[in-house]
Amino acid sequence: LDVLSLHSIAVGVGTDGGDLDGEDVFSSTAPYMASVRGSRAFLLEPGRRLLLRTFDEARPKSLTVLLISSLKDMALFLRDNEAIFVDKVKEVVIMGGADVAARPRGLPGTPARH
């Protein structure tokens, strides 16, 4: 966002998304990401705090939640803040993808195509 001069857009630091190996395999593929050791990283707000602040400040049914990576952080927020989520969210947009080989047992056998 800094490269695009969009400095006013809040950015938070989320969880690892549930990585079981503790290995960051994403950062090296995203040269636009700020270094975790850089001075800018110290200015970033924890993601859960940013979510709560954003939801608290929003008007009813005014938020579009766009999920383009791990769903873990939003799932935890929804679990802990269901009433405010229902009150403030107009729509949820999820960028999908399916790893058929990694699908837990019990889920439908055909991944979504839309």
At 12-66, the pLDDT tens digits run 877 777 667 767 666 677 666 666 677 777 778 888 899 999 999 999 999 999 8
Q: Which amino acid is at 74?
A: M
DSSP 16: -
Largest CA distance in the chain: 46
pTM: 0.67
* Position 98 pLDDT exceeds 60: no
Residues above pLDDT 90, as percent of the chain = 32
Give me 75's structure tokens: 């799932």
CA distances from 84 to 14, 46, 48, 53, 90 (A): 20, 19, 14, 11, 12
Whole-number pLDDT of residue 106: 52
- The residue ranking higher by pLDDT, 112 or 48, is 48
Q: What is the mean pLDDT of residues 91-97?
A: 83
Residues 99 and 86: their CA atoms lie apart, in Å, by: 29
* Position 81 pLDDT exceeds 90: yes
